[in-house]
Amino acid sequence: MTSTAAPTTTAPAPGTDDAVAHFAAKLRFEADPADVAAARAAGRGPLLVDVRDATAWAQGHVPGALHLPLGELTARLSELPPVEEEPEVVVYCWGPGCNGSTKAALALSLAGYRGVREMIGGFEYWAREGLAVETAAGRTRFPVDGLTAPLPQGRTPDR
């Protein structure tokens, strides 16, 4: 049987060079929570910048992150290492539905920072993967969400 359905896109298929450039750029400008955590555990982690507001920060944040709310970011650039030191900076916001980290990454790039990346999934996926979280009550971990990361041995999804 022949399908008469319209193609899912009208753009031409990318050539190999285009695909390589696209995916290489994504990896250059994005990092996922597991990769950030692994880099930090190996002692070569980036400077993490949380751009959410004070209420969100108090609810929980990545331990060791610098809190620079998006609305204050450009006024507080002096709290970051100088541009000349070319620090690796990873910014994050709430999660995939928030573009605060994209706005922050743009602002930092415009300010001359070259090693800026976004943490895809934001704080939501950091917490859902069971990575350490700091709250006003101290350091904790939330249970691993089996839809975002492998479950600990012997645990099955609740869903």
- Active site (catalytic) residues: 93
DSSP output for 80-109: SPPGGG--EEEEE-SSTT--HHHHHHHHHH
Q: Tokens in use for 154?
A: 């012997």
CB 120 within 8 A of CB 32: yes
Cα–Cα distance between 126 and 35 in angstroms, integer?
A: 10
Cα–Cα distance between 23 and 16 in angstroms, integer?
A: 11
Cα–Cα distance between 133 and 120 in angstroms, integer?
A: 17
**103: Cα within 13 Å, side-chain hemisphere:** 15
CB 107 within 8 A of CB 134: no
Q: Which residue has the tokens 């992150």?
A: 65
